[in-house]
Structure 1
């Protein structure tokens, strides 16, 4: 899951402005380098306002429900985009989006607006545990992430009609939800963007990323420009460095202000093997350890990415017998390189399910 994503703010430069924004209180085995961003732009929101509510999280420490077994969920931070013109056909439905490793809900902010406008349903973007504004908690594995997502459904009263989408690490997390019969009751459809349910070792570059970020913290640099210079020896690609540095914030603890990372670097570094893993083995036979989900499932593959390939497509078909596969001319960051096409594929799939 090489996080070489360009800034998504560039992708909506030509869209119409959002008329009103309300804020309420409250990537795995190796992949190819990022291809140049195409000139395509997002489908614009409707002329009327699309509303955005930001919700910030607090730790959840009460005992888990019996459905979640041994996993104690955390309260995930999220944003929700409400459609200005809800679609009667989408009544009772929602779209929930989960990002990849080192990402956050902000990576999907632009597409969430387009999805809400095109589908006419609320769109939730989540910060998974140990990312963004969500709590830091161990373990960082897919059973824990699935429990968190299920708890989010319960807390928001999303009991049915959920179209669940994940990219990269988030793709494995949403598949883990779908394959657990105690967690998948709310699901209507499942969408995995450039990730298969295969087990494998994560690329060594991710250990180097976390170590480089630890070194940046130790250096107590004050600006992203200084941090970027230190990161160049580990990662030559500017978009990748920019993506990693979206996780920084300015700390005023100590004698001088300096950059620190929002994410728990040591915990994520120790969790690299779990991020490459998957909690189930494929059927047959269908058992609790080798489950299947028969609901409508869409896999979107980046043509130049290796995450979905001829070796693991049969594995995906065993887990998800009612799946379809679409391919876009991209690398791993499908939604960043082809945002309009991604929106159209997801829209057609959800509306046709």
Structure 2
């Protein structure tokens, strides 16, 4: 499927970012799934979607197909490093995650894309936009702020990762049995059924023939301080392209008092809250989420490079 992106017309070829502007550190080759045939008429940048912590690309496949069918824009669902079928790495810094994404752009011949990211994936998308603004046609961030750190990240998530690591699979021969064992051992800490399904989706047959967690729990725990907070080295930089933050009204991941500092990094940012939704906005109210997302994607899909560089 990779060659299909070479069919995207040369309209986007002038959106080139000098290599000197991007620092590639421990870049890994990300796993991804392409929805669509890599073309659109008129030509529009593809939409890349990034998941939350312990999530994977398949979480976004249903919403991605709806976006594809309505906007006729190719959608690429991505497994970020240390998740899903992507490689494990010692680092889980956001700048490294963003470098992975930029390498994937190069691999697929993508010169400009719209980005959608939820929570950790939203921060990764923000870093991509700040590191390579010419590569980003539009930025949509789902329930996460680059300013404040949600208590959930520092209180619940470390306990969740520790509980996952402590699960005893007892050498099961079937994935279904392993997931049942994990559910039984995690039910005291995970009360939300959707989150439970997300977590259990990480129980699979591994390359070594054993059944267990495919996400890199050790790496995520080791790098906790790096992904629970947003990088501070973007001071003085900004992405001036169209930016939409969609927050859950009942969530504390995007605080109203963050708006001023958010707009220092993303001057054109608009923040909207979906009523009666928590952190998984797209699950709690998929209809409203899709309406906001599709409206944003239809309005913002191509930019002259000059207005989006500070």
TM-score range, shorter chain: 0.7 to 0.9
| C-alpha spacing 1:149/1:70, structure 2 compared with 1 (3 Å) | closer
CA deviations on 1:171-202 (whole Å, 9 max, x unpaired) are 1111111112xx23221111101111114363
Q: Which residue of 2 aligns with 1:146?
A: 98
Does 1:169 pair with 2:120? yes
| C-alpha spacing 1:247/1:313, structure 2 compared with 1 (3 Å) | same
Selected match of 1:206 from 144, 147, 157: 157
Q: Distance in 2 between matches of 1:334 and 1:237?
A: 14
CA deviations on 1:185-231 (whole Å, 9 max, x unpaired) are 22111110111111436322222212221221464454322221111
Q: Normalising to structure 2: TM-score of the pair?
A: 0.82
User: By percentage of residues, which structure has more helix?
Assistant: 2
The answer to whether the Cα contact below 8 Å between 2:115 and 2:125 also exists between their aligned partners in 1 is yes
Selected match of 1:109 from 51, 55, 61: 61
Q: Distance in 2 between matches of 1:259 and 1:205?
A: 25
The answer to whether the Cα contact below 8 Å between 2:169 and 2:178 also exists between their aligned partners in 1 is no
- Distance apart, 1:142 and its partner CA: 0.4
- Counting matched residue pairs gives 278
Q: Which residue of 1 aligns with 2:306?
A: none
Q: Which residue of 1 aligns with 2:12?
A: none
CA deviations on 1:218-247 (whole Å, 9 max, x unpaired) are 644543222211112332333322221110
Which secondary structure state, in structure 1, belongs to the residue aligned with residue 297 of structure 2? helix
| C-alpha spacing 1:328/1:223, structure 2 compared with 1 (3 Å) | same
Structure 1: 5+ residue runs without aligned partners?
1-23, 27-64, 282-287
- Distance apart, 1:83 and its partner CA: 6.3
Q: Which residue of 1 aligns with 2:257?
A: 311
The answer to whether the Cα contact below 8 Å between 1:199 and 1:276 also exists between their aligned partners in 2 is no
Does 1:193 pair with 2:142? yes
The answer to whether the Cα contact below 8 Å between 2:119 and 2:142 also exists between their aligned partners in 1 is yes
Q: Distance in 1 between matches of 2:77 and 2:206?
A: 26
The answer to whether the Cα contact below 8 Å between 1:165 and 1:174 also exists between their aligned partners in 2 is yes
| C-alpha spacing 1:137/1:352, structure 2 compared with 1 (3 Å) | same
Does 1:290 pair with 2:239? no
- Distance apart, 1:138 and its partner CA: 2.0
The answer to whether the Cα contact below 8 Å between 1:280 and 1:290 also exists between their aligned partners in 2 is no
The answer to whether the Cα contact below 8 Å between 2:247 and 2:271 also exists between their aligned partners in 1 is yes
